[in-house]
């Protein structure tokens, strides 16, 4: 017997009652956990063991996940592979009405960024380091996964809107830099586009919120600026994310009204 299926939801019509916030680094996530008073929960996956915190903010149930640690090196998992796994676990286990990916990023002086600038994703999210010189594979290589427009959320957070591009390296090659310049990328990170890919295919609205720790088009090595600014920028990001989550929880909102 054929099992009837539920019609797919229009993501714009989804009422946001449950939000999942996905971070890569615990150092980025901890300030928001503390600000919102979230409580640690059992891991959503016993093998990969991402850390899971939860609580209620106004009308909103909030789940916050970090990506856990690499079992060999003990370092926190970063990059698109870990982000894909984390997003899929979060969507399947927690059934969010909205998934937010928050974290730090590289910015661009040419686009007016400085350390501490906050961006909310606008338009399609890109991959800048996937090179497949075959025409049929160009879109898959470059990503171009649509995020959920969120101008009101950006205003509530006090953020700019900008294009986000993801890759698996902290620095970038000249060809990647040229791609980002051509696409007017504002935020270069290591996770957001992979998460957007999962959310689009699962019908879950998605927004990235990124805070600049380093400037990609500045002569200082990005790793030096990243390590120096990580703690300060993570605290600033938590302050803005708290404002955004409380705005979402003030009363029920549809994804199309973000």
Active site residue 214: yes
Tokens at 149, concatenated: 């427009």
Q: Which of 28, 63, 129, 191 is catalytic?
A: 28
Q: Which of 97, 142, 189, 214 is catalytic?
A: 214
Tokens at 14, concatenated: 């989804």
Tokens at 184, concatenated: 């007017």
Phi, psi of 208 (to 5 degrees): -100, 140
Tokens at 55, concatenated: 């609580």
Active site residue 97: no
> What is each CA distance from 8 to 20, 201, 202, in whole angstroms?
20, 11, 10
Active site (catalytic) residues: 28, 214
């Amino acid at each position: 017997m054929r099992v009837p299926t539920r019609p797919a939801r229009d993501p714009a019509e989804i009422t946001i009652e449950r939000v999942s916030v996905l971070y890569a680094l615990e150092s980025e996530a901890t300030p928001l956990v503390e600000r919102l008073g979230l409580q640690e929960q059992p891991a959503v996956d016993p093998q990969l063991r991402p850390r899971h915190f939860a609580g209620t903010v106004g009308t909103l149930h909030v789940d916050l996940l970090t990506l856990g640690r690499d079992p060999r090196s003990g370092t926190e998992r970063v990059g698109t592979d870990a982000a894909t796994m984390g997003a899929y676990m979060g969507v399947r286990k927690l059934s969010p009405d909205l998934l937010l990916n928050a974290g730090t990023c590289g910015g661009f002086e040419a686009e007016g960024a400085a350390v501490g600038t906050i961006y909310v994703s606008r338009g399609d999210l890109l991959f800048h380091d996937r090179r497949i010189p075959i025409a049929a594979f160009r879109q898959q290589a470059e990503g171009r996964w649509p995020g959920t427009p969120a101008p009101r959320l950006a205003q509530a957070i006090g953020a700019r809107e900008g294009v986000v591009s993801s890759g698996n390296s902290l620095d970038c090659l000249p060809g990647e830099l040229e791609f980002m310049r051509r696409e007017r990328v504002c935020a270069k990170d290591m996770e957001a586009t992979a998460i957007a890919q999962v959310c689009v295919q699962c019908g879950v609205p998605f927004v990235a919120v990124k805070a600049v720790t380093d400037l990609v088009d500045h002569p200082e090595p990005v790793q030096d600026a990243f390590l120096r600014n990580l703690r300060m920028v993570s605290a600033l990001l938590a302050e803005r994310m708290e404002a955004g989550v409380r705005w979402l929880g003030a009363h029920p909102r549809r994804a199309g009204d973000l």
